[in-house]
Amino acid sequence: MRALLVVNPAATTTSARTRDVLIHALASDLKLEVATTEYRGHARDLGRQAVQRGEIELVIVLGGDGTVNEVVNGLLHAGPAPDALPRLAVVPGGSTNVFARALGLPNDVVEATGALLDALHSGGGRTVGLGLAAGTPGTEDSEVPPRWFTFCAGLGFDAGVVGRVEQKREGGRRSTHALYVRQVVRQFLGDPYRRHGTITLRRPGEEPVEELALSIVCNTAPWTYLGNRPVYAAPRASFDTALDVLGLTRLTPSAVTRYGTQLLTSSPERGPHGKHAVSLHDLTDFTLESQVPLPFQMDGDHLGLRTSVTFTGVRRALRVIV
């Protein structure tokens, strides 16, 4: 099998030695090409080129969720066609690795490589659904191009946290869970819209859900991890269904304490709930719009400010090796 290994040399939890061991192990079973990313968006370009060449059967990503997102967007640049595209495999190398772990892969490079080789030998794999987000036609964001996401997106509070973390990382800070917790506190203290939400969720044929202060879109569960602890914002979200949404209409100190505790103690059976929580399951098409520009993120990548984003849940979009 001819395969392309896309390596992010800046991946948080890998070293040159680890990469060499991985390459040696994969090359013993595959006709392997190795490409190292050199700039933001390079992994997307490599994924697109793999499709255009037509001879690559498998694209393996060694990196975090951001690198995986780029490769997926490259593979799907012309839209989903699972039987015609290279398959995707992931070896987790980031700080959190939500997509890989949600697929059931070990959160260790060596163990994940062994699991990948076992899956290749046994023919293991599945087809997963993905989310697609784009600027809403007729709005100031209408020119924003569509982009795929693998596990989550967010408009508002959580995207603001992601943006703050990215700023710290650009300043040389390491991506740690403690860093995220500190930025959650700072975002809370500095968010002018946490008491009176500006976000409206609109679905065809349904009443709008208004005054959301937080909106998280999930393509799978868990939503994220704190160390080894999974966090479930939308426990019923799945790669086999469309998209789930968790919305909160108020982020007062008492509400944040309540829902923060619920997130930290969440499980596959129970996520955040209460009079200020809105949970919606298996949505195929909907729009999130805000009265003011708010931060927007996809798969943990801050994408600037948006006022209106249209989401589509696409079932059976991509084949993955697990």
For residue 57, give the CATH number of its domain: 3.40.50.10330
Residues 188 and 298 placed together within one structural domain of the fold = yes
- pLDDT, residue 11, reads 81
Pick the last residue of a domain from 96, 124, 152.
Answer: 124
What CATH code is carried by the domain that includes residue 166?
Answer: 2.60.200.40
Residues 103 and 140 placed together within one structural domain of the fold = no
Residues 23 and 136 placed together within one structural domain of the fold = no
- pLDDT, residue 240, reads 97
Residues 157 and 266 placed together within one structural domain of the fold = yes
Residues 206 and 308 placed together within one structural domain of the fold = yes
Q: Is 277 inside a domain boundary? A: yes
Q: Which runs of E-coded beta strand occur in the chain?
A: 2-7, 31-36, 58-63, 87-92, 126-135, 147-149, 152-156, 199-202, 209-212, 214-218, 224-226, 229-231, 243-248, 277-283, 285-298, 301-320
Residues 181 and 263 placed together within one structural domain of the fold = yes
Q: Is 13 inside a domain boundary? A: yes
Residues 139 and 168 placed together within one structural domain of the fold = yes
Residues 116 and 202 placed together within one structural domain of the fold = no
Residues 135 and 256 placed together within one structural domain of the fold = yes
Question: What's the one-letter identity of residue 124?
Answer: G
Pick the last residue of a domain from 82, 104, 124.
Answer: 124
Ranges of residues in the chain whose predicted pLDDT is under 70: 175, 177
Q: Is 320 inside a domain boundary? A: no
List the alpha helices (DSSP H) in the chain: 16-27, 42-53, 65-75, 98-102, 109-122, 157-170, 177-190, 253-264
Range of the domain at 288: 130-315
Q: Is 321 inside a domain boundary? A: no
Task: Answer for the pair 73, 132: CB distance below 8 angstroms, yes or no.
Answer: no
Pick the last residue of a domain from 70, 95, 124.
Answer: 124
Q: Is 54 inside a domain boundary? A: yes
Q: Is 307 inside a domain boundary? A: yes
- pLDDT, residue 175, reads 66
Residues 37 and 168 placed together within one structural domain of the fold = no
Total number of domains in the chain: 2
Which of 129, 130, 89 has the alpha carbon at shortest distance from 112? 89
- pLDDT, residue 194, reads 74
Residues 138 and 282 placed together within one structural domain of the fold = yes
Q: Is 249 inside a domain boundary? A: yes
273 φψ region: left (φ > 0), alpha (ψ -120 to 50), beta (else): beta
Task: Answer for the pair 316, 130: CB distance below 8 angstroms, yes or no.
Answer: no
Residues 225 and 157 placed together within one structural domain of the fold = yes
Q: Is 322 inside a domain boundary? A: no
